[in-house]
Amino acid sequence: MFLKNILPVIFILYITNCFGQDVIEKSDRLTSKVTEKFYVLKSNENIRHGIYEALYRRRTIIANGNYYMGKKTGKWLFYGPNGLPLEVFDYDKNILRYEAREDTTSDTRYLVDKELSDTDKVTKPIKIGGRYYGYLPYLGLYKTPLDIDGYTASSFVAIIELLVSPMGRLADYKVRVVSTLLEYDQTTHMDVNLFSEEDKEFFPATLNGQPILSRIIIKCRLTDGGSLDFY
């Protein structure tokens, strides 16, 4: 009876001691509104190991899971900035466990370059990480070449277009910024090689069970600093 009661305590102390000796807690800013907290090995700070958490405005969890020696492992949960669940992905089995339904008010649209018939069955491309956290990397790299000092950021609308190959790879990425008030309309093509390999991976769209080329269109807003953010 004594051993049965004390073993869980020993196990907890062992885990705590290992984390205290072997890893360092880090934090980073993904966007102006999203920060991430994670652990890295003391011996190599490029390797993440342990609990990961991303927070919207420092209080709402939008992603949480675990790293093991630099790789995501187990089930990861992803949420919207309102705290509602968007996606559950099992990295050990490479399976999408859950995705929340997308309603007609969504600022994201999906296109395939083919005329469809009433009998065609189409699935959309899916980004691991959900429709909020998963798309954050595509906001961070862009900075408008337009000097917007003196203008209201709300005068501009930004449209991200991601081209996803049948192999589930990011093939092209461009941002169109439009302002009818200023008669401004400019499209910027971004270098997809600036993204990590993980950020270039998708589950491709399918047409009647076969992978197909698709486009993801995301309506965004321009911030006062000239970067992108979701509405």
Residue 169 near residue 197 (C-beta atoms within 8 A): no
pLDDT at 5 over 70: no
**Chain mean pLDDT for the chain:** 88
* Sign of the alpha-carbon dihedral angle for 94, 136, 190, 219: positive
178/134 Cα distance (integer angstroms): 24
Residue at a domain's end among 65, 100, 135: 100
Residue at a domain's end among 74, 100, 126: 100
Residue at a domain's end among 80, 100, 120: 100
Q: pLDDT, tens digit, for every residue of 39-95?
A: 999 999 999 999 999 999 999 999 999 999 999 999 999 999 999 999 999 999 999
> Are residues 209 and 108 located together in one domain of the fold?
yes
> Are residues 40 and 141 located together in one domain of the fold?
no
Give the pLDDT of residue 147: 73
148/125 Cα distance (integer angstroms): 34
> Are residues 85 and 9 located together in one domain of the fold?
yes
pLDDT at 222 over 80: yes
Give the count of domains, the chain.
Answer: 2
> Are residues 186 and 200 located together in one domain of the fold?
yes
> Are residues 62 and 127 located together in one domain of the fold?
no
Give the pLDDT of residue 149: 67
> Are residues 147 and 221 located together in one domain of the fold?
yes
> Are residues 73 and 117 located together in one domain of the fold?
no
157/228 Cα distance (integer angstroms): 10
> Are residues 90 and 121 located together in one domain of the fold?
no
In three-state secondary structure terms, 60 is strand
Which residues are CB-contacts of 221 (< 8 A; sequence separation ≥ 6)?
A: 153, 154, 156, 157, 158, 228, 229, 230, 231
> Are residues 110 and 95 located together in one domain of the fold?
no
pLDDT at 135 over 80: yes
CA distances from 16 to 6, 25, 26, 139, 209 (A): 16, 13, 17, 36, 47
Question: Range of 140's domain?
Answer: 101-231
Instruction: Single out the residue of 132, 130, 64 nearest to residue 100, CA to CA.
Output: 130
> Are residues 95 and 107 located together in one domain of the fold?
no
> Are residues 132 and 91 located together in one domain of the fold?
no
Q: Is the pTM of this model over 0.75?
A: yes
- Centre a 10 Å sphere on the Cβ of residue 200 and count the other Cβ atoms it contains: 19
Mean pLDDT lowest among 6-20, 96-110, 152-166, 185-199: 6-20
52/65 Cα distance (integer angstroms): 5
> Are residues 139 and 83 located together in one domain of the fold?
no
Rg (CA), the chain: 21
